[in-house]
Chains A and B, each alone.
Chain A
Amino acid sequence: MEDWTGTLVKMASTQDKSLYVLLYRHFAPKVKAYITRLGVSEATADELTQETMLNMWRKAHLFDPAKAAASTWLFTLARNQSIDWMRRQKYPEYSLDRMEKSLEEASDPDTAEKHVSSYRMTQVINQLPENQAQVIYMSFFEGRSHAEIADRLMIPLGSVKSRIRLAVEKLKLTLRGEA
């Protein structure tokens, strides 16, 4: 498995376009697949993907490998790009101190470990019981609120939340290397 996080860090420090090409080839098709599943047209998905990938270049120096793997960072860029397009209001973001920190601290990330986690996480996602995987997918890939999921599956709101909680609990244990 390629070390995309390391590649991204290296691209940020060297501005090496050949690294950008590698990252683009790996991530752009996934980013487009993600954006397409949110329910936008092909043309819009192309446009939002390009914007996301441009942001990867523009914001690379703000990426903090101690906090996130490259795939996680790309996910947040793609999400923000899509939501800001779908709504006229900017999606509220919490705090940007972690971006500031990345400039101050010379990070020495254990990117390999992050990647093992990411890989294992994929396995765990695939092993979730179907009713838990379903609510995770509906949240992440269809952008549905709990209430919409409850309506669609014809189950109580509380059940939607507890299924999500159960799934997340497993995924986070994996992430922390405890499962």
Chain B
Amino acid sequence: MKINHHLDESTLVSYVAGSLSQGMALVVATHISLCEKCRESVIETEAIGGALLEQMDSSEISDTSLETILSQLDEEPIAEPEKGVTDQSDGLVPPPLRSYIGESLDSINWRRLAPGFAYVDIFTEGAGVCRLLKVSPGKSILPHGHRGSELTLLLRGSFSDEIGRFAQGDIADLDDQVEHQPLVDKDQGCICLVATDSPLRFTTLLGKLLQPVTGF
């Protein structure tokens, strides 16, 4: 998979720090599972976390804590390596997303909202929205700005906007500076995973009415 659009370093920091919303963390983890470059970058960012941990002032730990834990070690089962799934053939859902939507992109129960648009909400705890969005070929997603951050990962198909062309595996990592109008390519519809970190995207009444249609 040739990936041209990657995660912003600042997004990776939030992911590694554990400070992303659940939905955005899911999109990040899914991109990283597809993208060697961002995976390398995450490993480097984790090293920053390690250095920060190393320089923490130590909290006090009671002696009994160590004794308790030592008495437990023999009974502790040794962890099995978790199975990494490497099959990334088309139509298969990338591993981090599987526990949320199942294994196949072709067996999703879409909710149709308007001609050419369907979606599925993915339940994630906390602030923001996470949903899978399916848009028909040649359709344009309405122009929108962002109050917070928005992540859009292409799982199938492609679209183009002011920034460039986004194909399978690419991620659009946008903040509130960007206003864009993605246009889905004509040959194939697209399926993307979208997450935002603030619950409300539009402040106008018109925007609120359109919100479920655009998915943003």
Contact = CB atoms under 8 A, between A and B. Distances in A.
Interface string B61-76: 1000110111011001
Q: Which A-B residue pairs are the 10 nearest by beta carbons?
A: A72-B50, A29-B58, A92-B29, A71-B50, A94-B32, A121-B51, A32-B59, A161-B10, A164-B10, A97-B84
Interface string B19-59: 11110011011101100000100111111111111111111
> What is the interface residue range for chain B against chain A?
35 or more
Given A69-B50, A145-B14, A54 B84 contact: no
Contacts of A141: 52
Interface of A: 17, 20-21, 24-25, 27-34, 36, 45-46, 49-50, 53-55, 57-59, 61-62, 67-76, 78-80, 82-83, 87-89, 91-100, 103, 117-118, 121-122, 125-126, 136, 139-147, 156-158, 160-162, 164-165, 168-169, 171-172, 175-176
Contact of A36 (B10, B59, B70, B177): B59
A29 B10 contact: no
Contact of A118 (B28, B42, B54, B79): B54
Contacts of A17: 70, 73
Interface of B: 8-10, 12-14, 16-22, 25-26, 28-30, 32-33, 39, 42-61, 65-66, 68-70, 72-73, 76-79, 81-84, 86, 95-96, 124-127, 148-149, 175-177, 197-198
A95 B50 contact: no
A80 B18 CA distance: 8
A91 B18 contact: yes
B177 to A, nearest CB: 5
